[in-house]
Amino acid sequence: MQDLIEEKAYETYLKNMEYFNKEQKDVAKLLAMFDKALNSGDYIPTLDLEYKDGYFDVKNLTSNQYLYGGDSNKLSEKLKNKVDFNKDHQTFEGAPLYNIPDELLNNPPEDFKVVEGVLHIMKYYAMNTNSHTNMIDIDKFIVIGTGLGMHISMIDEKISSKQYIIIEDNLELFKLSLFTTEYYKLAQRAKLYFSIADDENAFIQIMNEFLANQFFYNRYMKYVKFPTHTEDKIKQIQNALITQPYIFFPYKATLFKYMKPLEYMNDGYNLLNVGGDFSNSVFKDKPVLVLAAGPSLIDNIEWLKNNHHKFIIVAISTILNTLHKHNIKPDVVTQLDGGETSLKFYEDVLEDGFLSDAAMIFGSNIPVKVRQMFKKEQVFYFDEGEKYVSNYTALTSPCIGSVSLILSLLLNAKELYLLGINLAVNQETGQSHSADYMYGYQADTENKDKLSNVMENTKNLFQVRGNFRETVYTNAIMHASVQSLYRNMPIVKKEYQTVYNLNDGSYITQTIPKYTKDIDTNLFEDIDKSQLSIAIKEDLKKSSITKLSDKDISSIRQRLVDAKETYKEIENYSKTISYSNKEQYLYDLLGIVSYILHKQKNESVNLTAVFLSFFKYSLTAILDFFNTKNLKNAKKHIKNFDKLVQKEMFSIVDIYIKGLEEFLNERV
């Protein structure tokens, strides 16, 4: 009997490995590296798989304790029984629900105007359902901790989910589960994602893939946690959910950002290609210091006052008043903020010519009043994904500090230093930024380890790898920039470029931790800033244009044609939609969604991106609504939802078409 069980376990392992080698190559590679470490003696096993009394268990070879400590089949059955179809039990909300008061619905607060169209959809959803109802189907399921994995198979027999993400931080334990759980069989029916022994950044990448696939099922995602697995992963999952780009930068904000460049293109402003040829730029020859608003800026202000003249200073606009107070002139100023409040950054710094020599490098969304403060030859706009200029490189990131870092690398900075890019709260005080930063806030460090059911992008703290410390606490809004740099640094940074992180904050990939006191600035020469100012603008000018080419104008005309085709297709949908039953309605609705999202030509991608963001808000609510057991008056709900969805789809295309037409009719 024992021999048969061992033979069956080995057969399961071989079939699992065949599946991983074919379909999950990253996991297979990780397992191969682990096997190599075992065989070479570089890793000494700490766990052993045992079969006793009719069940498998895992023995810890160090403590002699057992993972299950009893019948693993019974514990697996218990975990299965914990899984139900209720929407408010062991569930992550993967998409937001904004339920603002009725009196604000038609004139929402400023923060909600960028999602104005979905507020009515969400209000209707909230008024006609509640979180205590049961789902018909569980479409996405999260497994936190595999143990030996028997509970995963049992849960699948119960719920038959379409997609699973399987998370295990202990690689050795996961390998043992390959003998006891038929992952290969589960993969024949469901889409599987694996996050095995990943750090917080690699985990986010896999979680994002899981969220992106069939995103319309993200409203409620059930989960199960293996009892011995750390709860840290719950915070990391919450972080992944709250940092989804469409939540950070909602669809109407994206739409208006795409329209904004039409205000200044062909008006003589420099349109900078950040991907241009900067091989011989002045940034290559001198040390570059990027300054942002993190707590380390003020912590090191005396060092900065004594040494700023030895660096090319790239500063974000939010710290200009601080720099002015300490007489630290920036050579380059960067800004993404499109709000009118950004005018305050410049209130006290223009009178004495503080910025008269600086190059102002702006994202596409800057208020008109900001650019009007400066001479045209000072202002350089970069592409944030609008792609109006052919062969121009786009530069995007959640925060201006990380944009400034990537920008400096693109400008060919060979020796780069970062100060004020903490991307973590002050570990002692919980302060998010330097004391005089206007958008700063205080995080609750006393409750930093507590789990919260409320996902807030500034208040919920979790641990990540630190720069000077082993770990530091950060929040979702800061970690979004860490993630962005994790993705982009390997793409942008060249081998000869060195980046020093001077901040007591999060570790930034491909940077070297360094304290300011350890920089021997005696080796640095003073820089002639008047000559530097001329050289910087000349370098930027070489990779800029002030007017669109005929080819680019033609591309904008094609965007207009493409947008009108989309409008017509929505009209056809409006005329042919069936309200007979929810299955037919959802089939028709997903049909128009599929048509729009499959438009991926250069002339289509901006409008497609806006719609994708809109659908991530609206479809998740609608599909969850109709995934409710014992739903009454379905036909009425179908008509009401569809009316709201159509209204906003037409609104999006209308705004886009009118913006393009105005540019082509008046500015070309």
Q: Which residue's structure tokens are 């350890």?
A: 518
Q: What is the pLDDT, as a whole number, of residue 447?
A: 52
Q: What is the pLDDT, as a whole number, of residue 143?
A: 98
| pLDDT for 442 beyond 80 | no
Domain boundary among 545, 566, 584: 545
Q: What is the pLDDT, as a whole number, of residue 553?
A: 96
Q: What is the pLDDT, as a whole number, of residue 359?
A: 98
| pLDDT for 457 beyond 90 | no
On the CB side of 416, CA atoms within 13 Å amount to: 30
Q: State the burial class of residue 205 (Cβ atoms within 10 Å of its Cβ: 0-12, 13-18, 19+).
A: middle
| pLDDT for 190 beyond 50 | yes
Long-range (24+ apart) CB contacts under 8 A made by 632-636 are: 634/581, 634/582, 635/579, 635/580, 635/581
Provide mean pLDDT across the span 578-600.
94
For residue 258, being part of any structural domain is answered with no
For residue 489, being part of any structural domain is answered with yes
Residues 566 and 520 grouped into a single domain: no
Residues 619 and 514 grouped into a single domain: no
Q: Tell me the pLDDT band of 459, cut-offs 50, 70 and 90.
A: low
For residue 161, being part of any structural domain is answered with yes
| pLDDT for 458 beyond 60 | no
CB 227 within 8 A of CB 146: no
Residues 501 and 642 grouped into a single domain: no
pLDDT tens for each residue of 470-502? 999 998 889 999 999 999 999 999 999 999 999
| pLDDT for 350 beyond 50 | yes
Provide mean pLDDT across the span 358-362.
98
Q: What is the pLDDT, as a whole number, of residue 318?
A: 94
Task: Tally the domains of the chain.
Answer: 3
For residue 251, being part of any structural domain is answered with no
Domain boundary among 476, 511, 545: 545
CA angle 264, 265, 269 (to 5 degrees): 70
| pLDDT for 460 beyond 90 | no
Provide mean pLDDT across the span 275-302.
96
For residue 50, being part of any structural domain is answered with no
Residues 509 and 622 grouped into a single domain: no
Residues 489 and 557 grouped into a single domain: no
Residues 578 and 518 grouped into a single domain: no
pLDDT tens for each residue of 489-538? 999 999 999 999 999 999 999 999 999 999 999 999 999 999 999 999 99
DSSP sequence for 148-182: TSHHHHHHHHHH--SEEEEEES-HHHHHHHTTT--
Q: What is the pLDDT, as a whole number, of residue 49?
A: 96
Q: What is the pLDDT, as a whole number, of residue 83?
A: 97
Domain boundary among 545, 574, 608: 545
pLDDT tens for each residue of 193-239? 999 999 999 999 999 999 999 999 999 999 999 999 988 899 899 98
Residues 230 and 282 grouped into a single domain: no
CB under 8 Å to 382, separation ≥6 — which residues? 272, 273, 274, 361, 362, 363, 364, 394, 395, 407
pLDDT tens for each residue of 590-615? 999 999 999 999 999 999 999 999 99
Residues 610 and 630 grouped into a single domain: yes
Residues 555 and 532 grouped into a single domain: no
Q: Which residue's structure tokens are 């962005």?
A: 484
For residue 252, being part of any structural domain is answered with no
CB 409 within 8 A of CB 299: no
Average pLDDT, the chain: 93
For residue 222, being part of any structural domain is answered with yes
Residues 196 and 293 grouped into a single domain: no
Q: What is the pLDDT, as a whole number, of residue 231?
A: 86
Q: What is the pLDDT, as a whole number, of residue 448?
A: 46
Terminal Cα distance for the chain, rounded: 83
Tell me how far apart the 2 most distant CA atoms of the chain are, in Å: 89
CB 489 within 8 A of CB 477: no
Residues 234 and 347 grouped into a single domain: no
| pLDDT for 283 beyond 90 | yes
Q: What is the pLDDT, as a whole number, of residue 443?
A: 52
Distance separating alpha carbons of residues 198 and 210, to the nearest angstrom:
15
Provide mean pLDDT across the span 643-650.
97
Provide mean pLDDT across the span 262-269.
92
Q: What is the pLDDT, as a whole number, of residue 1?
A: 55
For residue 369, being part of any structural domain is answered with yes
Q: Which domain holds residue 613?
A: 549-666
Distance separating alpha carbons of residues 569 and 117, to the nearest angstrom:
20
Rounded percentage of the chain residues whose pLDDT exceeds 70: 95
Q: What is the pLDDT, as a whole number, of residue 637?
A: 96
Q: What is the pLDDT, as a whole number, of residue 519?
A: 97
Enclosing H/E stretch for 623: helix 605-625
Q: What is the pLDDT, as a whole number, of residue 430?
A: 59
| pLDDT for 639 beyond 60 | yes
Pairing of strands 91-93, 220-225: antiparallel
Q: What is the pLDDT, as a whole number, of residue 580?
A: 86
Rg (CA), the chain: 28
E strand segments, 202-317: 220-225, 270-272, 288-291, 312-316
CB 252 within 8 A of CB 116: yes
Q: Which residue's structure tokens are 């208020």?
A: 367
Pairing of strands 462-465, 471-474: antiparallel
- Which DSSP symbol is given to 480? H
Residues 512 and 564 grouped into a single domain: no
Provide mean pLDDT across the span 629-657.
96
Q: What is the pLDDT, as a whole number, of residue 518?
A: 97
Q: What is the pLDDT, as a whole number, of residue 284?
A: 96
Distance separating alpha carbons of residues 501 and 507, to the nearest angstrom:
8
| Listed range (94-103, 189-198, 356-365) with the worst mean pLDDT | 94-103
Rounded percentage of the chain residues whose pLDDT exceeds 90: 83
Distance separating alpha carbons of residues 377 and 534, to the nearest angstrom:
11
| pLDDT for 451 beyond 50 | no
Distance separating alpha carbons of residues 555 and 602, to the nearest angstrom:
9
